């Protein structure tokens, strides 16, 4: 995605706050990032669940070896 600012003739210092084309680009860009990376909170929760599961498996194997 190329930002609309690249060859914009109306470009000035600080114009991102006023430019409707840039706002639309930013919204589309954020939507694309969310689609690729997903929800960061959900990813952290799923990672935590997976780590707990792996720790339980490792602990169970360790306890079985000690018997």
Mean pLDDT across 12-20 = 87
Q: Which tens digit of pLDDT belongs to each residue from 21-31?
A: 999 999 999 89
14: left (phi over 0), alpha (psi -120 to 50) or beta: left
Do 33 and 57 meet the contact criterion of CB atoms below 8 Å apart? no
Q: Which tens digit of pLDDT belongs to each residue from 52-62?
A: 999 999 998 88
The predicted pLDDT at position 42 comes to 82
The predicted pLDDT at position 57 comes to 92
Q: Which tens digit of pLDDT belongs to each residue from 33-58?
A: 888 887 778 888 889 999 999 999 99
Q: Which of 14, 18, 16 is nearest to 3 (CA)?
A: 16
What separation in angstroms does the CA of 67 have from each of 3, 30, 54?
63, 53, 21
């Amino acid at each position: 995605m190329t930002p609309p600012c690249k060859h914009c003739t109306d470009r000035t210092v600080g114009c991102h706050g006023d430019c409707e084309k840039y706002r639309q680009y930013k919204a589309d860009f954020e939507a694309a990032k969310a689609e690729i990376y997903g929800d960061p909170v959900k990813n952290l929760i799923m990672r935590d669940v997976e780590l707990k599961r792996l720790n339980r498996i490792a602990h169970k194997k360790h306890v079985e070896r000690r018997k």
